[in-house]
Amino acid sequence: MQRFFIEVAYDGAGFSGFQIQENAPTIQSAIEEVFQIFFRNEISLTGSSRTDAGVHAVQNFFHFDWEGGWSNLWIYNLNALLPEGIAIRSVRAVCADAHARFDALARRYRYVVYTRKDPFLRDRGWHYPYRLDRSLLEELAGMVTEGSDFRSFSKRNTQVKTFDCLVMESHWEWKEGVLEYHVKANRFLRGMVRALVSTMLQVGRGNRSRADFLQLLEGTRAHAADFSAPAQGLYLEEVSYPADIFLEQGGSNRYVVED
């Protein structure tokens, strides 16, 4: 039995999230279904990161165990069976104990905010037509990398042992009426990126204070951030792994990070 990582991209609209759910369309259930149809063989997928309903991914991963060899020619056939909103990008053999979730070194997210009406971003970002202090937003983003306890930015009923996260990158970019927040960390809590975005925008708009945001970063007020940022503006951009878990080196290594 060989273990493989399967790299996928998807438009989250129309799906009830990443992980399989009873009586609801998800990314995992769609991929498992096409494997069953094409190979007449069931597989069980384990995901690298759970994304909520409506959240998109430029890159996400599952791992699965497979009897026998794998031909990349099959990717075309599987993509032909998948819904238009899901695409398999690659399938690569990995070590027998490699785990899509626990071996991930970091994840990178992007959140899209647009300040003027744009019909092409309606389902791809958050329309936020308010005056914002962009220099203050960038200052707040820099503060995020200094935080460690993010319980204030975690939704309730999150079953985790710790709220500690190591945020490696955090910054805003402005592109002709579109404001993008970029953040990379070793792990993220449930709702964390959307909470960071909406709370920073509240401060940048003048509805909350800089001091209040700093207090939230100290982790003393659980679940006290603003969670109003909608799902359609959020994109999982990248999941990175140590290179030595992949059995076949060479080729594209765009999602491999050395130890």
Q: How many CB atoms lie within 10 A of CB 258?
A: 10
Give the Cα separation of 194 and 41 in Å (integer): 38
Q: Which residue has the tokens 């909520």?
A: 52
Q: Which residues contact residue 130 at a Cβ distance below 8 angstroms, ignoring those fewer than 6 apart? A: 115, 201, 205
Which tokens belong to 65? 């165990």
Rounded CA-CA distance 125/235 in Å is 10
Active-site position among 11, 52, 118, 259: 52
- Is there a catalytic annotation at residue 11? no
CB 82 within 8 A of CB 31: yes
β-pair partners for 3: 65, 94
For tokens 């070194």, the residue is 105
d(C-alpha 39, C-alpha 185), whole Å: 37
User: Strands (DSSP E) along the chain, which ranges?
Assistant: 2-10, 46-47, 56-66, 86-94, 106-114, 126-127, 167-175, 178-185, 234-240
7-46 burial: b if 16+ Cβ within 10 Å, else e: bbbbbbeebbbbbbeeeebbbbbbbbebbeeeeeeebebb
Pick from 201, 223, 199, 194: which is nearest to 212 by CA? 199
Catalytically annotated residues: 52
